[in-house]
Amino acid sequence: MNQKQLDQLLIEDVSPQFYRHYASLFQHYFSLDNQGTYRTLDKAGHCLFQLVMHIDRQEDNFEDNTGVCLDLQLESILILSELFSTDHAFWQDFRHAQSLFAKRQLLEKRCHSYPSLKNYRFLAQSRAGLATVALHALKHLDSSTSGLKGLERSHTLFIEAFQLYDDCCDFREDAINGQFNWAIYRYRLHYEQELDAAHFFSSVLFNELMLQVIDLIKNAQSLVHAMGDSHYLTMLNEFKASVKRTLAN
């Protein structure tokens, strides 16, 4: 894939807009004056998000996306190299994020064998491992930031909320693909019948899980609320509103 094709791939992405501007979500919490830095991190994050999406498609549908995945990974590293030298401490965090993401299949097997909320949370963090790169980068670029632990904990809760919401929405697809899904696991515990997506979406269990998603979002909001309004808080509010609309329907 040449540069023009890669750029076109990113332009044609129809995923939620915040994936294109992930680092900028946290701009309020950092003191970087150069807006170009956020744009650079946004583009690198967008490449990493697309990388995750193409890996998921390859694993779920047995598509050979290896070439595209390698191009996206290389592009993200080249973009990040504009901000960090090869010996910068940031790359240790970057490798940790890569390692966390690489463990997702092992953690999924563990969830299949030993399903527990603790293991599920580990799996959720692993699947979103590359989403932490933006915060790692900003932390290294602005070491004076206060309240970062609260922001990082909030982001962890957002990831868990998003994964649980995704599991509920993907009930039917994950049942077909055999992917570990917390909603499917809970369904099998609650109901003595074959998996039935229509029944799940009209069930008390579905309402319960969606309310858990809302509680996680609220907890994520509470950890950063005192730090003032931000694009991140706006995104959390929009996410919560979307969940409530899904629940109402």
DSSP string, 47-115: HHHHHHHHHHHHHHH----HHHHHHHHHHHHHHHTTTS-TT-THHHHHHHHHHHHHTHHHHHHHHHHS-
Can you tell me the distance from the alpha carbon of 209 to that of 201, in angstroms, rounded to the nearest whole number?
11
Give 1's pLDDT tier (boundaries 50, 70, 90).
confident
First to last CA, the chain: 42
Q: What is the identity of the amino acid at 114? A: Y
User: Taking residues 19-41, what's their average pLDDT?
Assistant: 92
Q: Is pLDDT of 59 > 70? A: yes
Torsions phi, psi for 202 (to 5 deg): -110, 10
pLDDT at 144: 72
Q: Mean of the per-residue pLDDT values for the chain?
A: 92
Can you tell me the distance from the alpha carbon of 227 to that of 234, in angstroms, rounded to the nearest whole number?
13
Name the residue among 131, 102, 155 with its Cα closest to residue 22: 131
Determine how many CB atoms are found less than 10 A away from the CB of residue 128: 22
The size of the chain, in residues, is 249
Q: What is the CA radius of gyration of the chain?
A: 19
Can you tell me the distance from the alpha carbon of 178 to that of 138, in angstroms, rounded to the nearest whole number?
37
119 in Cβ contact with 110 (< 8 Å): yes
Name the residue among 24, 28, 25, 22 with its Cα closest to residue 226: 28
User: Taking residues 32-45, what's their average pLDDT?
Assistant: 93
pLDDT at 12: 84
Cα-Cα-Cα-Cα torsion 38, 40, 42, 48, nearest 10 degrees, comes to -150
- pLDDT tens sequence across 82-139: 999 999 999 999 999 999 999 999 999 999 999 999 999 999 999 999 999 999 999 9
User: Taking residues 51-56, what's their average pLDDT?
Assistant: 89
Q: Which pTM was predicted?
A: 0.92
Name the residue among 170, 154, 169 with its Cα closest to residue 217: 154
Q: Is pLDDT of 23 > 90? A: yes
Can you tell me the distance from the alpha carbon of 172 to that of 108, in angstroms, rounded to the nearest whole number?
18
Q: Is pLDDT of 202 > 90? A: yes
